Amino acid sequence: MDRDGTLMPDLHYLADPAAVEVTVGVGDALRLLRSHGYLVVCVTNQSGVHRGFFPEETVHAIHRRLNERLAPRGAWVDAFYHCPHRPEENCECRKPGTALFLRAADDWSIDLAASAMVGDRAPDIEAGNRLGLFTVLLPEAGHGAAVDRELAERSVAPDVRVASFGSAAAAILARG
């Protein structure tokens, strides 16, 4: 799963854990996926760290807060991986780079061919495609046209496009 714009609203360089809110429907959908045996892993680009906007600890605090917000729904994210780099650093972990996905697969013995990626932007889908993941595009409300341009520029397409996180979970489960 992508984080900003997917599990939670994209608040742009969010540095305040208290401002974390989970997108409607995400908790129930994650609980459903977990009940079907899926591990929930979040891979997120957080260039705000190397831009000097917030320290690494803030990223961890936001992730703890996200899980606290999910807890009342009986859901949680099993693991978070973040890239702290700026695009100019040309690292291998910033999406569409795949380094964090590969690390997660190694850490958790994940079968990538049986896994899915849900994200709101083209780099999420591009990373998923590179790894052979089932890709689900869930654009944030009002951003569909911008995401379409991104996809066209990168010549990437998701396996499915949905309008809610619940529909993303249903698509993943329907694929089996």
Residues annotated as catalytic are: 2, 4
**One of 1, 2, 69, 139 touching Mg ion (CB under 5 A):** 2
β-strands 160-161, 79-83 pairing: unpaired
One-letter amino acid of 111: D
- Which residues from 65-104 bind Zn ion, rule CB under 5 A? 83, 85, 91, 93-94
Single residue of 14, 69, 80, 120 touching Mg ion by CB under 5 A: 120
Among Mg ion, Zn ion, none, the one that 94 touches (CB under a kind-dependent 5 to 8 A) is Zn ion
User: Max alpha carbon distance in the chain (Å)?
Assistant: 42
Pick the closer one to Mg ion by CB: 27 or 123. 123
Q: Nearer to Zn ion by C-beta: 80 or 165? A: 80
Question: What 3-state DSSP class applies to 21?
Answer: coil
Contact (Cβ atoms closer than 8 angstroms) between residue 45 and residue 83 = yes
Task: Look at residue 91 and give the partner it binds from Mg ion, Zn ion, none, a contact being a CB closer than 5 to 8 Å depending on partner kind.
Answer: Zn ion
Nearer to Mg ion, 4 or 115 (CB): 4
In three-state secondary structure terms, 87 is: helix
Give the Å distances, CA to CA, from 62 to 3, 79, 91, 112.
11, 13, 23, 26
Rounded Cα gap, residues 104 and 145, in angstroms: 31
Instruction: Answer yes or no whether residue 126 interacts with Mg ion by CB under 5 A.
Output: no
Q: Which residues bind Zn ion (CB under 5 A)?
A: 83, 85, 91, 93-94
